[in-house]
Chain A
Amino acid sequence: MPIHTAHRLTDAASRIILGKEHAVRLALACILARGHLLIEDIPGVGKTTLAHVLARLLGLQFQRIQFTSDMLPADIVGVSVFDQREGAFRFHPGPVFAQLVLADEINRATPRAQSALLEAMEEHQISAEGRTWPLPEPFFVIATQNPADQIGTFPLPESQLDRFLMRISLGYPDRAAERALLAGDDRREMLARLPTELKPGELDTLFAATRAVHVGPRLLDYVQALLAHSREGAGFAVGLSPRAGLGLLASARAWALMAGRDHVLPEDVQAVLPAVAGHRLRAADETPLPPERLVCRLIEAVALP
């Protein structure tokens, strides 16, 4: 049953985001693994649309925060305002109080504003005025980022990047997809008409099903071999953290579920590895290698046990 649900979701999303089935599946896997997603790409390839579509399909309460360089933490988490009638301060929750938060162009904001969001991602709660306010459950952040070589941006440091389970990029659509896009309906209208695919409670069932996907000792051997190679193998300056290892397994579980299996295969791990490890690995040699190449190098260096 959960498999059909997953298929339904990807199909529906792919009708709007054309020719990007793999990226859509990765984004969905990231949600099923209960991780935050970073979409990195040039403007105009449909990053925001993808976030919108996911929120719509999954029936999640949605908020969009446009990050700018003059943004303050209070613009994200909310402010306390003095209520004259009650004679006390009242906390006005900010836009972060939503189930799915789209943090658009996160690298435009100063590190101070960025860290306010990143703390919320880690703790699933907000601390303000000496009190903590729990965020709604589930809580996801989909952040988008323009490539860091553009002017006037504050690229996320590595420690912050590690909080995103996956980093994906969309890229230009292929010829056929672009044609369909150009010839087709207005995306904004389609989005507005998009029905929610999930009944209440169905998302929780999906989460539970993802967690129940079997991981055998052989697969753990393989994952450990990958982690060990990323840490000790030549060619890697920074290896994968234990958090990355946990994220890798969770993502592989979601991927296996979406492929209709009750157990994880090395293929599942390899499928999610570029998205999970790409922003966490750094090459040891000076020549900058594209992240995908680096991950390929890791995959090809570790034989299946």
Chain B
Amino acid sequence: MSSLRPDQAGWLMASAAITLLPHTAHLPLALSAICTLLLAWRGTLVHGGRALPHRALLMALAATIVAIVLIEFHHLFGKEPGIALLAGLLSLKLLETRSVRDGRAVVLLCFFMQLGQFLYQQNMAIAALAFIGTITTVASLLALQGFAEPPRARALAAARLILQGLPLMLVLFVLFPRVQGPLWGLPADAYNRVGGLSDSMAPGDFARLGESGAIAFRARFEGDPPPPAERYWRGPVLTRFDGHTWRSGPLRSGEQPAYRPQGIAYPYTLTLEAHNNHWLLALDFPAATPGLRFTDDYQLLAREPVQNRQRVTLLSYPHTPVGVEETVFNLRAALALPPGFNPRTRELGQRLRAEAKNPADIPALAIAHFRQSRLSYTLEPAPLGRDDVDSFLFDTKQGFCEHFAAAFVVTLRAAGIPARVVTGYQGGEINPVDGTLVIRQSDAHAWTEAWLPGRGWIRIDPTAASAPQRIENGLAAALPDSTRLPLMLRADLAWLHGLRNRLDALNNSWNQWVLGYNPARQKELLSGLGFGQPDWQTLTALMGGGSLIVMGGLTLWALRRRSSADAIDRSWALLCRRLASIGLPRDAWEGPLDYAHRLARQRPDLAETLTSLATDYARLRYGPATADPLQSRRFHHSIKNFRPR
């Protein structure tokens, strides 16, 4: 069992460090610290050339790591505890890596942990890190096999190996038969911790989303997108109100929408990030699409929760009148107010009702009242009392979109107008790099719908009354300058903005073509290449064929590279084979002249030709002038014609 050289240990440590680095984002802090310490310890041991620690100490350390995992996760099974345990043991394994065989175990563990990164995140940065990690680990494997070499040459050799595997990887990626959904079931914890809208709303919910720059979805329009003021992306509709929280009413859904689309149509494709809910955030109001469902409050739903990034192609008609013939049941639900809450707002509603000559004027009166009240739009509203609508409207007068929407709906309901809160996203920003409309969590918005007889549900955005900028130009423009916004949301840093746009465009292509390469995309691509609609058998055959072609091509390339340099050697080898077949083999170490000389004594009849051939070979192979093709062909010819018996 051969022991490790310092360069081998160095490569193994580099592999482990690069592999573990991205895992620190989700490992327990204590474990990350222990891994760092263990790696550093191993580093000093290598540097100082000292012996590795005793087995008993390692056992104690392993027990500590298991204990930390147990304390953090309460069990040892599943994705997170499993990865955490392996990360700890990888760092520990380095401390007992004495022989080349141990080194191979470390290499395998590194490869496994690099795959493990993708259980958490699959973005480009992680892919790039995994790629660097793979190169380093392959370099470690090379170091374990061969002699010491400068690190640069070693890394280049590893990169070359991976590059040679790239064509095969591409064939497998493009042609491997895709199945809908993840290939293997991930443990349930893969789907929690996704931010975004929920099916309820309480004061403060949206302000929290407003601080998140994460992308909610992207939309690509065929043709011009609608103007910003019409970009209302519909999410959950909240009708029930218990005095504090708004919830959606009972949903009835069908395959056809409850309206007849009319007016201008906008065709577009949505690429939704996973949010673990059914709603699809269509632009108001989408036409029927196969496979999707519509609720009677005009939400568009998917059949399965959106647990992976998903593409939907839709057609929306923003100017469609909806709900002219609304059911009494729904209208009654849209008038209900919990008794005993917000007395001042109810009083306001009743006053507006009395002032109005016509009930249809009430919404306009309410908006006017909001405007007069000088409500301010802010991400950090003052805390509210028990009657939060009352305290917003009459005391603090500071709120975010959910405060405006809630207050407006309560006012209208008190005035006898059916109304409800609609949540979703408003606006979005065109990325000039690739022309997609990017909608972030900070674009989350709440607005209202009021029902008027003969006109149906009408969208009214009370936020626009106080902060019209929000609707036209986005959140950053609407907030007062003093508000502290996350860096990325600030409008004044133009270069940062440009950089983010570029990055988003790149990420979008990555999502569309790498992560979003699903059965539909595969079919699209392959039918574009003239394969029609391949089933999985055809795909398997194509993949097998493709792999064979790539492997064959690589083999041929390698052989050709050898043969073009060695035409002379091949001719010489042919001569040696012929002589060996008549019982005059060459020893592997025997030089050409010595060989000819020896044979000349045994077979004087062949002496002259052999000596001349051997001399030619020696001159062509070892001489100062490189053989030109003519010479080597002549040499080959003379050997081909020489048939000793």
Residues of A whose CB lies within 8 Å of any CB of B are 214, 216, 218-219, 262-267, 270, 299-304
Contact = CB atoms under 8 A, between A and B. Distances in A.
Given A214-B622, A265-B593, A267-B593, 14 more contacts: A218-B621, A262-B623, A262-B624, A263-B622, A263-B624, A264-B622, A265-B618, A266-B622, A267-B594, A299-B589, A300-B587, A302-B589, A303-B589, A304-B590
Interface in B590-645: 590-594, 618-619, 621-624
B589 A265 contact: no
B593 A214 contact: no
Contacts of A270: 589, 591, 594
A266 B590 CA distance: 8
A300 B623 contact: no
Highest count of chain B CB atoms <10 Å: which of A219, A265, A270, A301: A265
A265 B622 CA distance: 6
Interchain residue pairs A-B with the least CB separation, the first 9: A303-B588, A214-B624, A267-B591, A266-B591, A263-B623, A216-B622, A263-B622, A267-B594, A267-B593
Contacts of A219: 622
A144 B593 CA distance: 33
Nearest to B619: A263
A302 B589 CA distance: 6
A303 B589 CA distance: 4
Interface of B: 587-594, 618-619, 621-624
Contacts of A265: 591-593, 618, 622
B623 A214 contact: yes
Nearest to B588: A303
A263 B625 CA distance: 10
B202 to A, nearest CB: 75
A264 B624 CA distance: 9
A152 B591 CA distance: 44
A235 to B, nearest CB: 15
A214 to B, nearest CB: 4
Highest count of chain A CB atoms <10 Å: which of B587, B589, B621: B589
14 contacts: A214-B622, A214-B624, A216-B621, A216-B623, A216-B624, A263-B623, A264-B622, A265-B591, A266-B622, A270-B594, A300-B587, A301-B589, A303-B589, A304-B589
A92 B83 CA distance: 82
Contacts of A266: 589, 591, 622
A135 to B, nearest CB: 34
A304 B622 contact: no
A88 to B, nearest CB: 55
Contacts of B594: 267, 270
B241 to A, nearest CB: 84
Contacts of B589: 266, 270, 299-304
B590 to A, nearest CB: 7
A13 B589 CA distance: 32
A296 to B, nearest CB: 10
A302 B593 CA distance: 17
A304 B588 contact: yes
A221 to B, nearest CB: 11
Nearest to B595: A267
A304 B624 contact: no
A216 B619 CA distance: 10
A197 B589 CA distance: 37
Nearest to A299: B589
Contacts of A267: 591-594
A218 B565 CA distance: 12
Contacts of A299: 589
B626 to A, nearest CB: 9
Nearest to A264: B622
A299 B618 CA distance: 18
Contacts of B623: 214, 216, 262-263
A267 B597 CA distance: 11
Contacts of B618: 263, 265
B284 to A, nearest CB: 75
Nearest to B586: A304
B495 to A, nearest CB: 53
A299 B587 CA distance: 11
A300 B622 CA distance: 20
Contacts of B619: 263
A265 B615 CA distance: 10
Nearest to B623: A263
A204 B272 CA distance: 84
Nearest to A232: B147
Nearest to B592: A265
Contacts of A300: 587, 589
Contacts of B593: 265, 267
Contacts of A214: 622-624
Nearest to A214: B624
A46 B592 CA distance: 34
A262 B619 CA distance: 9
Nearest to A226: B589
B596 to A, nearest CB: 10
Nearest to B590: A304
A274 B159 CA distance: 43
Contacts of B622: 214, 216, 218-219, 263-266
Contacts of A264: 622
A305 to B, nearest CB: 9
A274 to B, nearest CB: 14
B566 to A, nearest CB: 10
A214 B619 CA distance: 11
B140 to A, nearest CB: 22
A303 B585 CA distance: 14
Highest count of chain A CB atoms <10 Å: which of B621, B622, B623: B622
A71 B619 CA distance: 52
B149 to A, nearest CB: 14
Nearest to A228: B147
B589 to A, nearest CB: 5
A266 to B, nearest CB: 4
A218 B591 CA distance: 12
A211 to B, nearest CB: 13
B515 to A, nearest CB: 48
Contacts of B588: 303-304
A266 B623 CA distance: 12
Contacts of B624: 214, 216, 262-263
B620 to A, nearest CB: 10
B576 to A, nearest CB: 11
A265 B595 CA distance: 12
Contacts of B592: 265, 267
Contacts of B587: 300
Nearest to B587: A300
A219 B619 CA distance: 12
